[in-house]
Amino acid sequence: MKRTNVYADPEDLAIIKEAAKRRGISEAEIIRQGIHLAAMANRVWDEPLFSRTFPGPGRTLTKDEVRDVVADAAQRETGSGTAA
């Protein structure tokens, strides 16, 4: 780990202090968790989240069509004639 200094709002620090006491962990651990969340929220990924495409009808499926496709897939997974 690397040490760093930051400026924080006193009200935020009071909330962190309360939470640390309530959760039985250090204030530093809560701050580290917050830094990690901020880092992940601002990360630029090497590839898009949905990089693969799948063939489809070219329109949004209806609720019934989605249900039928999921049921068919579940039947294939379990090898049974009825959805589990």
Tell me which range, 23-27, 57-61, 71-75, is most confidently predicted by mean pLDDT: 23-27
| Helix residue ranges per DSSP H, 1-84 | 10-23, 27-41, 63-78
pLDDT of residue 33: 97
pLDDT of residue 45: 81
pLDDT above 70 covers a percentage of the chain that reads: 92
Q: Answer whether 0.75 is exceeded by the pTM.
A: no
At 31-59, the pLDDT tens digits run 999 999 999 999 888 877 776 777 778 88
Cα separation of 72 and 64, whole Å?
A: 12
- Tokens describing residue 70: 């999921």
Specify the amino acid at residue 14.
A
